[in-house]
Amino acid sequence: MSRNSAQWHAKPNLPETHYVDSSIYTSEEFFREEQEKIFNKVWIIACHESEVPNAYDYRTFQHPGGENLIIVRGDDQKVRAFYNICPHRGNTILYDPSGNAKNMTCIFHSWSFDTKGNCVDITRGTEGYQNRIDKQDVCLREVKCDTGYGGFIWVNVDDESMSLKEYIGDALGLLDECIQPEMEVFHYHKAIVNTNYKLWHDTNSEFYHDFLHYFNRITGMIQPGYYDRKYEGYKYGHASVGSMEVQYDKYAGSQKRGVGWPGLGPGGWILIDLFPGMTYNLRTSVLRLDTAIPLGANKVAIEFRGLGLKSDTPEQRAERIRDHNTIWGPFGRNLHEDLLAVHGQGIAMREGTDSKWVIQGREESSTIHDEVGMRHFYAEWSRRMGRKASAPQEQGKIEAA
Ligand code: FES
Ligand SMILES: [Fe+2]
């Protein structure tokens, strides 16, 4: 039997924590509110220290709150972050995604800034401003920046925010030992998908969709230990999934992994989701790090990084790259399947369309197919937004779950 319009629109017969209203994925108004209440308040990974290894190396970063940022290493080796906005008349200072610059000079009227954010030159300054403008009053706007948890460079545009340490709490505890050695980014790519950033984070927060991945079904789902993996939720919406041993040799054409990772058992796999859109995914020989950067309610740029150990021999590195690309590279076995699925969600759930309820109702004792990870995320989302994800049109104070 199919459903008519009234039945299609009826709320699911589940607790209101077990489904969400699809408008939280499609409304541009909610998205602007998320920028203000979520992205401009929390710590976000901008890049990895190995991407700016030397003094004066920089990268630009599109912050999900809307501002473009400069991440730059000074000659004191400290990494700092600034708005990529010239204090003169608001021009973009750096256009290239990465480079090396002792001073950063705005193309418009050639004001220059050093890597500590000081204004070091105002062209024809005295002639035009006499002594009415001091260079000190036109420095760059600095953004809080910290390095940690595997050498990642984190930023927070809220000057009053809590520390990174407090924000992460115990959430990365399962990876404690694994992220001690120095690491290096060996792979970067970005996918821009017409879908909501939360739908990407959802795929990283539930394993029920292993049905999507033939590789995961063969090497994981039908192997011992798979259903023992447990979700654990942490403060501020973070969640982890415990380890299992992936049986790579069960997939034709694949082989057992020769290179492992310090602190991780053979074939081990640990995944940790950080609110609101970052995922540490350590699978046997490679750490994959996803950062979801929303560009609108229905557009997200997902940055993918693959990392190995800085101490790798050329042979070890080659194997890590091969392992990474086999599963997670743009032409690998799994990643495009996930992208296809969330792109499909982006097509089906558009503002004003009829697809109303998204169900996150599986309960399996917090094991791998339980959707408790997503529910944990939406409890935090609701708290920060002051809107229940299942009834977002109403506003009010919502306590932490
Ligand atoms: S806007 Fe940058 S120097 Fe004028
Ligand atoms: Fe997936």
193: Cβ contacts below 8 Å, ≥ 6 apart: 200, 299, 300, 302, 339, 342, 343, 346
Closest C-alpha residue for ligand 1 atom 1: 89
Nearest ligand to the C-alpha of residue 216?
2
Prior bond of 330 cis (ω within 30°): no
137: Cβ contacts below 8 Å, ≥ 6 apart: none
User: Going edge to edge, which strands form the sheet with 142-148?
Assistant: 44-48, 152-156, 142-148, 79-83, 68-73, 57-62, 98-100
Q: pLDDT exceeding 90 applies to what percent of the chain?
A: 83
Spatial contact of 319 and 285, defined as CB atoms under 8 Å apart: yes
Q: Residue 312 is encoded by which pair of tokens?
A: 């790798």
CATH H-level superfamily of 44-156: Rieske [2Fe-2S] iron-sulphur domain (2.102.10.10)
Residues 206-251: tens digit of each pLDDT: 999 999 998 888 888 888 888 888 999 999 999 998 776 767 666 6
Residues 100-151: tens digit of each pLDDT: 999 999 999 999 999 999 999 999 999 999 999 999 999 999 999 999 999 9
Q: What is the largest CA-CA distance in the chain?
A: 81
Question: What's the CA gap between 277 and 274, in Å, rounded?
Answer: 6
Contacts made by residues 286-290, CB under 8 angstroms, sequence distance 24+:
286/320, 286/323, 286/324, 286/328, 287/150, 287/178, 287/179, 287/183, 287/261, 288/324, 288/328, 289/45, 289/48, 289/152, 290/200, 290/204
Residues 46-65: tens digit of each pLDDT: 999 999 999 999 999 999 99
User: What is the pLDDT confidence band of residue 256, given thresholds at 50, 70 and 90?
Assistant: low
| Ligand 1 mutation target, pool 92, 108, 135, 138, most atoms within 8 A of CB | 108
Mean pLDDT of the 245-265 span: 76
Domain-wise residue ranges, the chain: 44-156, 170-385
Question: What's the CA gap between 208 and 260, in Å, rounded?
Answer: 26
Q: Cα of 330 to ligand 2 centre, how many Å?
A: 13
**What does CATH list as the number for 170-385?**
3.90.380.10
Side chain identity at residue 364, one-letter code: E
Closest C-alpha residue for ligand 1 atom 3: 109
- Same CATH fold assignment for domains 44-156 and 170-385: no
